[in-house]
Amino acid sequence: MRIIVAIIKTFMLFAALVWMQLPASAEVRFAKEPLSIVTTAGVKHQFDVELALNDEQRELGLMKRTALGADQGMLFDFGGSRDVSMWMRNTLIPLDMLFINANGVISHIHANAKPESDDIISSNGKVAYVLELSGGEAARRGIAIGDHVLSHQIGNLK
């Protein structure tokens, strides 16, 4: 009987250790929505983005992802305009960070953020949103400061 109890206790300890090692991403889920960027030249670019709407989602972001499609991204909603600082800790792929004001206008772009860097990336002013795209995607598509980001989350779809 003692052997059975010892086996059960060992199994329970092992299960608890495995559970504690699960990545946070196993618990955090992101809603998705379509998003468009309209350049000042009138060119419209479509993306399918995940939404980071709460602290837990914003902290996890695109960490530990090994790939991001050219038409994919993540929109961080900060619930109002403020100075925003981002970093790339535990982010394995380069990203473009598009800093967006409350009206959906891109006010700053940090291109090709270095993977796994703890360097602080500043919004350079008050923003309400940050859109992360695959590194280099903004330049490939000609996306620039002054372009408009349209989405239901931003609230500016016509």
Q: Where are the domains of the chain?
A: 27-150
For the domain spanning 27-150, the CATH number is: 2.60.120.1140
Average pLDDT, integer, range 103-116: 98
DSSP secondary structure letter of residue 77: E
Neighbour count for residue 125 (Cβ, 10 Å): 13
Q: Residue 7 pLDDT > 60, yes or no? A: no
Average pLDDT, the chain: 89
Strand ordering across the sheet containing 32-38 = 106-113, 95-100, 121-134, 72-86, 44-52, 32-38, 148-150
Please give the pLDDT value at position 157: 86
- Distance CA(154)–CA(128), nearest Å, equals 9
Whole-prediction pTM: 0.83
pLDDT of 45 over the 60 cut? yes
| Block residue for tokens 């535990």 | 90
Give Cα separations from 94 to 3, 107, 121 (angstroms): 52, 20, 13
Reply yes or no on whether the pLDDT at 97 is more than 70. yes
Please tell me which residue, 8 or 31, carries the higher pLDDT value.
Answer: 31
